[in-house]
Structure 1
Amino acid sequence: MSASLNRSLELKRMLSHMKKKPNVTMEQYVWEIKTIASSLASINSPVSNKELIQTTLLGLGRAYESLITNISLFPGQLTFDDLGTILVEQESRLEYLYSQEADFGQPAFAASSTSGGPQSGRGNFSGQQRGRGGRGPCGGRGRGGRDRG
């Protein structure tokens, strides 16, 4: 086997085993993938945009599941560079949300959501809308509002 083929196989193996570790920033993770892809391209073994995106998404943890699902709905409409930007922004957003949870803590949230009985947190909602099959504030019969019967 040639050195080029050996190198190509090694780089592809590395790429297929990429996982974002908690102590690595998203920017570093994306950069590592891009570096491997560039190395593969330099030895005439390029990786397609689709493969790069799939590899990147497969290496992400649970915190990114909803984003992965959304991106998967639109295959072929995203470049690897676009994905990198989106992931860095998402990481920043998640860090912000986690910091908010740490600042306010779970007990504070639990206390505010349980005080005041079952209607707590619903504003001026009077319960007139009863969901599927129920009648709303106008009686729910036909177009004319109240029952004219």
Structure 2
Amino acid sequence: MALFLLGVMLPAPALAGPPTSLKVRQYLAAHPGGTVLNHNEISYQGGEVVVTLDAPVGTYGMADCPSGWFCFYEWPNYGYPRGKLSSCGWQNLSTWSWQFRVESAHYNLGSGHVGFYYHDQELFRVNPSKRVLADAGQWRNWANRVYRSCP
């Protein structure tokens, strides 16, 4: 945007970095430490986990985890925000402020499994033969760790 002052056009100040949506700013305020990827995605720890804030148009209520990832959703029936991970072994969900927030899950990998845990107790798991869990039921908002078994 330029400013006209007495017939002289003054340049507008340069924007600092890409613009971010209000929703992204609010999410980062509540869950600091992320890097903005675009108007709808934030990565943590160099892309180890990627949070997508809003579902793509036409996918509400559908498991939509990209191939090569396992995903967890803040609401039943795959309600966004969605977190996605692909790392093997133990992951502490508090690293990305996802502890006690998982209500549904989708496993989109060809082998292995991921268990969702409350400390050392496995609550539920998803794997190639049971890829989706639309509602964690009694275990909603209990998981604070995950373990992905990789063959």
TM-score by length of 2: 0.24
Higher RCO (C-alpha 8 Å, min separation 6): 2
Q: Could you say which structure has the higher helix fraction?
A: 1
TM-score by length of 1: 0.25
Q: Could you say which structure has the higher strand fraction?
A: 2
Point out the structure with max Rg over C-alpha: 1
